[in-house]
Amino acid sequence: MRGTFRALVTGAAVVAALLAASGGVTAAPSPSAGTGGEIRGGDAFLVDTGRCVVGFTVTEGFVATSRCGPVGGEVRTTGGELVGVVRGSTYPVPGGAWVETTDAWTLSPSVGRAGGGTAVLGSTLVPMGGAVCATTSTSGWRCGNVLAHDQSVAFPEGTVSGLTRTTLCSDHGRDEGTPVVSGNQAQGVLLLASGPCPGGGGSDHVLPVNPLLAAWGLTLRTA
């Protein structure tokens, strides 16, 4: 598998290539109902591989990073309640994932909870130099600017291309997976954090949301 990911193209083809190589969406059993609640971007749940952070809600559930685990894996609350099942994932190669949630959960078209959060109105890509913000679990809202699009990062499992490089400087190992927005426009999910950076100079990489939606034929929930 590793050789397959060493020469990925940018944009939607990156996620599509990862998806094809990882076997795509398999016939995992439908998730059962639970007591549920509201889900919005930035919420964190548990999976076998650690934490699964909600990127953005879609009509069938939510998109996230492949930290949510392999296809067929279950996403649960800290109390053990089933949230959903991973229907698509590039795991173990860093990239995207799609989780189908149970009918018990309400999917909010917003990110963050502090002060009511921010409504998501669309997913227009911000140009270089544009402002972006992430709602992180460690420091709340953290903002920066876009340095470049279509960037590549080499991971032990393979090289991932089509990423957006920013100055967000979020906490490495703790903030990956959090949603990144520009105003009310969804930009992507944080794939690699470079912080903490008390003196500045961070270089966080974001996995764009539109290729994730295209890879699995999903529709972003908007307010």
pLDDT in tens, 73-107: 999 999 999 999 999 999 999 999 999 999 999 99
Domain ranges of the chain: 2-23+37-111, 114-208
Give the right CATH number for 2-23+37-111 from 3.40.50.300, 2.10.109.10, 2.40.10.10, 3.50.50.60. Answer: 2.40.10.10
**Same fold? 2-23+37-111, 114-208:** yes
Q: Answer with the residue of higher pLDDT: 201 or 146.
A: 146
Q: What is the pLDDT of residues 127-171, one digit of tens each?
A: 999 999 998 666 678 889 999 999 999 999 989 999 999 998 887
pLDDT at 68: 97
Q: Answer with the residue of higher pLDDT: 123 or 197.
A: 123
Backbone φ, ψ for residue 216 (5° rounding): -115, 10
pLDDT at 116: 65
Alpha-carbon torsion 7, 9, 15, 16, what sign? negative
What average pLDDT does range 186-203 have in this prediction?
A: 81
The CATH fold of domain 114-208:
Thrombin, subunit H (2.40.10)
- How far, in Å, CA of 204 to CA of 52, rounded? 19
| Crossing angle of the two packed helices 209-216 and 12-21, in degrees rounded to 10 | 50
pLDDT class of 23 with cuts at 50, 70, 90: very low
pLDDT at 29: 44
Q: What is the pLDDT of residues 26-59, one digit of tens each?
A: 434 444 445 789 999 999 999 998 999 999 999 9
pLDDT class of 181 with cuts at 50, 70, 90: very high
